[in-house]
Structure 1
Amino acid sequence: MRITQGAYSFLPDLTDDQIRKQIAYCLDKGWAVSIEFTDDPHPRNTYWEMWGNPMFDLVDPVGVMGDLAACRAANPDHYIRLNAFDSSRGWEAVRLSFIVQRPKVEPTFRLERTEIEGRTQRYTLVTVR
């Protein structure tokens, strides 16, 4: 089962050329691009580790692709995603976020239901490896 977070997550993995074109689109819009990685893709884990700083004022996707290659080399069995931020209105807003690398074996999640007092039920997400 594949983790489905961000844009394109229901599609086959993007090639490097497709990733470069998405980065070029973001840069053409004036959005800052950042790279994040994690080994815990739990839906509640919204804060992944940043790889460097967000890349402001870039005009060529080569810089982002270079950082992506370095992040992939340092984290070969982690999830890696690209985020594009729009600050044109004076605050940062995520305009695009998508996974660009997945580990060879992806964890899956199961929902466990526990009945407590009366009709009350508690739901817990459990990682299954």
Structure 2
Amino acid sequence: MKTKTLLVTLTALTLLTPTLHAGTLNGGKWKPDNCGSKPATPNIDDSSVEAFNQSVSVLKDWQEQAQAYYSCIAKEGSADNTLIADTANKEQAEHRDTVNAINAAIKAASEKLERK
């Protein structure tokens, strides 16, 4: 019963935990995965007052879309940076622990052999 409860709990936690990976690194270039497409830069039409006013109206929408897009990039980039740093730190800590264990085993073996 305890095993079944543990399995159900672990499964639920796995499904409810958000993905830590946010972007994709390919060929040395990082790209966000969840920010959609970069908004196309609007053109300013100065052919008439009406065309100019329409351009300014489009520009306001573009600014909002661009702000959302670049905020998303910053959030995803930060999440990936944190994940990369945490993973590297964990790997280095595991390596240090392994080296320390080897050194302890060498010391214990050396002391044992010196007593013989």
Into which bin does the TM-score normalised by the smaller protein fall?
Answer: under 0.3
In proportion to residue count, which structure has more strand? 1
In proportion to residue count, which structure has more helix? 2
TM-score of the superposed pair, with normalisation by structure 2: 0.23
Which has the greater radius of gyration?
Answer: 2
